[in-house]
């Protein structure tokens, strides 16, 4: 009973003597609602249970994302960093416990001074001021931070793969538009050229038709170059050497995108992995203030050994050779010209830097969500307008070509209509890719369930 009571008293004493601040989450200004609210979001809900494979209906894209998660080297390194942090945390745990070892020695000089010993040793630093416990908590916070860092990389990786994929499908569509335009302009150039040779039209009409054809041919080459670059970027994300990327749905057929609930701004504190990572790093730096403060105080160590020692090897293993020893020691700084105090001040400032970084990351996250909400709304509206513009431009071109063929207008009208249709089709294709990417950007900004 006395031993149990002594242990309880010792634990209470150790806890009560612990120095250093106790971590509490700092207060950050949290908006009550988003500034830009629109029909694409559902404010009261949360995206925490909405997974990426519920957003994408394209099985090819989903397979590319899975391949990236399995093979990306940056993500693999993030996993290794987690293992390193876990090992560091394990070391900090073991520091709280006694260490056991062994030693043996043989000293041969003469019969009167020979020495033989085999000993088991033990040592234990009593964590009276909480230095080791603060270090353990700091290591654990760093472990959690590394896990959130992996989530951040996963979030970025998935969104980048999806964004590049939509860009790839946009470029595929732009290439098809350009090739179709080359065919159309080639046919029309041949028509105008025959009329020029027959003296029915001016040379200017032929030159303008030739110019428009060359522009379309140049666009084909430009888009092909962009296609190659985009595929190489995807290859890197997939952790593979350069090669062709499989295609699934065209962007125009990427339908059924779900409503993405934005939740409340305060939910980012618990959803965004980069915000959580910043807080864990702040917690770690706060715990290390306690470590620095404890280093200014004395260390208490218990040491001991037991084993066999003798001046004669033949009598080493005997009752008379059995030896034990136990000792307690105290050691601490006395005067270091302010170095120990400065160490505490440095760590306090380091914690302040981490606190500022935490607030900065959170404010940036709020801004990213606001931008994403605007992008989802405006790109949706813009795509509808671009699609309507392209349809009208196509009809206008058809009418202008008929009027020109029948001699009711000059070639300038056809030239303007043809250029307008080509540009509007390319812009509509690009806007559709940007609209799809805006969904991904919003989901990433909200820190959803990747």
So where are the chain's domains? 2-445
Q: How many CB atoms lie within 10 A of CB 37?
A: 13
Strands 322-331 and 115-126: unpaired
- The pLDDT tens digits for 372-393 are 889 988 999 999 999 999 999 9
Tokens 């391949």, residue? 67
Tokens 């971590």, residue? 23
Cα dihedral 305, 308, 310, 313 sign: negative
Q: How many CB atoms lie within 10 A of CB 234?
A: 22
pLDDT higher for 237 or 116? 237
pLDDT of residue 313: 65
- The pLDDT tens digits for 108-149 are 776 667 777 888 888 888 888 888 898 899 999 999 999 999
Contact of 446 with 46, CB cutoff 8 Å: no
Long-range contacts of 209-218 (CB under 8 A, 24+ apart): 209/185, 209/411, 209/415, 212/185, 212/415, 212/418, 212/419, 213/182, 213/185, 213/186, 213/189, 216/178, 216/181, 216/182, 216/185, 216/422, 217/182
pLDDT higher for 283 or 201? 283
Residue 409 tokens read as 């207008």
Pick the CATH number of 2-445 from 1.20.1600.10, 3.30.70.1170, 3.40.50.300, 1.10.645.10: 1.20.1600.10
pLDDT of residue 75: 87
- The pLDDT tens digits for 248-268 are 999 999 876 667 776 778 878
Whether residue 20 is predicted with pLDDT greater than 90 in this model: the reply is no
Whether residue 316 is predicted with pLDDT greater than 80 in this model: the reply is no
Whether residue 30 is predicted with pLDDT greater than 60 in this model: the reply is yes
Contact of 106 with 308, CB cutoff 8 Å: no
Q: Give the chain's count of helices (H) and strands (E).
A: 10, 4
pLDDT higher for 158 or 315? 158
| Three-state DSSP state, 127 | coil
Tokens 């040379």, residue? 203
Percentage with pLDDT > 90 across the chain: 40
- The pLDDT tens digits for 325-345 are 888 888 878 777 888 889 899
């Amino acid at each position: 009973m006395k031993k149990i009571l002594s242990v309880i008293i010792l634990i209470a004493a150790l806890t009560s003597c612990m120095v250093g601040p106790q971590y509490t989450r700092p207060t950050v200004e949290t908006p009550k609602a988003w500034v830009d609210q629109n029909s694409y979001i559902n404010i009261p809900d949360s995206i925490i249970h909405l997974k990426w494979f519920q957003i994408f209906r394209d099985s090819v894209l989903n397979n590319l994302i899975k391949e990236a998660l399995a093979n990306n080297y940056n993500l693999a390194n993030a996993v290794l960093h987690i293992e390193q942090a876990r090992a560091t945390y394990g070391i900090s745990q073991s520091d709280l416990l006694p260490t056991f070892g062994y030693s043996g020695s043989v000293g041969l000089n003469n019969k009167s001074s020979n020495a033989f010993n085999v000993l088991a040793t033990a040592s234990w630093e009593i964590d009276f001021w909480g230095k080791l416990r603060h270090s353990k908590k700091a290591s654990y916070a760093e472990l959690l931070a590394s896990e959130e860092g992996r989530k951040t990389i996963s979030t970025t990786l998935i969104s980048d793969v999806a964004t590049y994929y939509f860009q790839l499908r946009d470029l595929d569509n732009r290439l098809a538009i350009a090739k179709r335009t080359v065919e159309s302009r080639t046919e029309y150039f041949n028509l105008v050229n025959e009329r020029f040779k027959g003296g029915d039209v001016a040379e200017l009409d032929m030159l303008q038709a030739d110019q428009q054809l060359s522009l379309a041919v140049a666009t084909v080459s430009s888009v092909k170059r962009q296609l190659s670059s985009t595929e190489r970027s995807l290859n890197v994300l997939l952790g593979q050497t350069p090669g062709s990327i499989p295609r699934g749905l065209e962007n125009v057929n990427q339908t059924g995108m779900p409503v993405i609930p934005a939740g409340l701004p305060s939910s980012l504190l618990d959803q965004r992995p980069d915000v959580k990572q910043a807080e864990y790093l702040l917690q770690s730096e706060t715990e290390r203030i306690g470590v620095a403060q404890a280093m200014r105080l004395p260390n208490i160590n218990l040491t001991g050994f037991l084993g066999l020692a003798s001046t004669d090897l033949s009598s080493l293993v005997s009752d008379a050779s059995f030896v034990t020893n136990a000792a307690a020691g105290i050691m601490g700084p006395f005067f270091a010209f302010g170095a120990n105090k400065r160490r505490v001040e440095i760590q306090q400032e380091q914690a302040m830097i981490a606190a500022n970084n935490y607030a900065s990351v959170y404010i940036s996250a709020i801004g990213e969500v606001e931008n994403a909400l605007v992008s989802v709304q405006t790109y949706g509206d813009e795509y509808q307008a671009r699609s309507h513009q392209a349809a009208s431009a196509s009809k206008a071109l058809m009418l202008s070509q008929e009027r020109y063929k029948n001699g009711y207008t000059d070639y300038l009208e056809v030239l303007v209509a043809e250029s307008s249709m080509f540009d509007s089709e390319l812009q509509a294709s690009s806007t559709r890719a940007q609209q799809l990417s805006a969904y991904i950007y919003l989901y990433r900004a909200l820190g959803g369930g990747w």
